[in-house]
Structure 1
Amino acid sequence: MASYYSGFLGCEEPHFLESCSLCRKHLGLNSDIFMYRGDKAFCSNECREEQIESDEAKERKWKKSSRSLRKNSSETKESAAGNTVRTGTLVVA
């Protein structure tokens, strides 16, 4: 079977259009390919949607932790202004 990447012999990684980015199912030459963010190919709309949901959940988690860090930072500044210093450990994920 011809490969999308057949012109580059010796390459270790397959071309992004050869397999689904989520389930790794082979993407046939005559099958539909569902794209996401320009460089991620999926075998079905379901795989694509699952990746989108996963990315959105990561983004929400990141935004939530970012807000928490800003809130903790402002509390520390307010305490420092009143000559009281709050110390603690800051964990960044």
Structure 2
Amino acid sequence: MASYYAGFSSYEEPHFLESCSLCRKHLPRNSDIFMYRGDKAFCSNECREEQIESDEAKEKSWKLSSRSLRKKSSEASKDCKTVRTGTLVVA
């Protein structure tokens, strides 16, 4: 069992400045590195722009889906009728 876990401990994640966050291409030490959101490195401006466009599309779809859910929720609450039950006392 110990040898099974030993294989996992020997693997380490590469440093974020060692490879492109999009295409995984190795980033040479003496070349330009294009950064995005502080912790994502890219080999070219094209890879960086592709990631930005992808993130913006995801954010837009999340906003649209959450807006749609809120709209459905408010429409459902309009369809509900409030019924109060209780005891009526007449004197």
Shorter chain as denominator, the TM-score bin is 0.7 to 0.9
As a proportion of its length, which structure holds more helix? 2
Gaps of 5+ in 1: 1-9, 84-93
Provide the aligned length of Structure 1 versus Structure 2. 74
> In structure 2, what is the equivalent of residue 76 of structure 1?
76
Runs ≥4 residues deviating over 6 A? none
RMSD: 1.4
Q: Secondary structure at the match of 2:53?
A: helix
TM-score, L = length of structure 2 = 0.77
Q: Secondary structure at the match of 1:49?
A: helix
Gaps of 5+ in 2: 1-9, 84-91
Deviation at 1:54, TM superposition (A): 0.2
> In structure 1, what is the equivalent of residue 54 of structure 2?
54
Query: What is the identity percentage for the equivalent residue pairs of Structure 1 and Structure 2?
Result: 78
Greater radius of gyration (CA): 2
TM-score, L = length of structure 1 = 0.75
Amino acid at match of 2:28: G
Deviation at 1:82, TM superposition (A): 6.6
